[in-house]
Amino acid sequence: MATEFYSKDHEYIRIDGDIGTVGITDHAQEQLGDVVFVEVPEIGKKVKAGDQTAVVESVKAASEIYAPVSGEVIAANADLAGDPALVNKDPMGKAWFMKIRLTDKSELDGLMDKDAYDKFVAG
């Protein structure tokens, strides 16, 4: 069963075993506006929690995407290069950025669950 966690930088990570699927939240894509460019990390890249791993650009701004956990990038969503607007259409589904094989599941303890994230966004 997959479990979701959220960062203060508005990334989500959906955990299934030792694999985490990372993307940006619906709130983040709303704040960005129309996404026009996405750069995803290379497969095999080793990341630490908090590392910049991807870039998303909209008509309003460019934003970095940070790894919510440490691990190795085992998949990157190549569909986003050809259709960056997927981020606006389906941020929590088809528009995932990367899949990371976690090296330290205890890092999930520093992230928020859905209720805590919703309260965080509400201010």
Which alpha helices (H) appear in the chain, and where do they start and end?
A: 26-32, 79-82, 86-89, 114-122
Name the pLDDT band for 2 (thresholds 50, 70, 90).
Answer: low
* Residue among 72, 75, 71 nearest 105 (CA): 71
Q: Which fold has domain 3-122?
A: OB fold (Dihydrolipoamide Acetyltransferase, E2P) (2.40.50)
What's the distance, CA 52 to chain centroid? 11
The pLDDT value recorded for residue 72 is 98
Q: What percent of the chain lies above the pLDDT cut of 90?
A: 95
pLDDT of 78 above 60:
yes
User: What band does 58 get if pLDDT is binned at 50, 70 and 90?
Assistant: very high
What tokens appear for 24 in the block? 């940006």
Confidence of residue 6 (pLDDT cuts 50, 70, 90): very high
Is-contact 40 76, C-beta < 8 A? yes
What distance in Å separates the CA atoms of residue 6 and residue 86, rounded to the nearest whole number? 20
pLDDT for residue 13 = 98
Per-residue confidence band for 101, with pLDDT thresholds at 50, 70 and 90: very high
pLDDT at position 21, please? 98
Cβ 91 vs Cβ 24: under 8 Å? yes
Give CA–CA dist 97/78, Å, rounded. Answer: 8
Which segment of 3-7, 49-53, 59-63 scores lowest on mean pLDDT? 59-63
Indicate the average pLDDT of the chain: 95
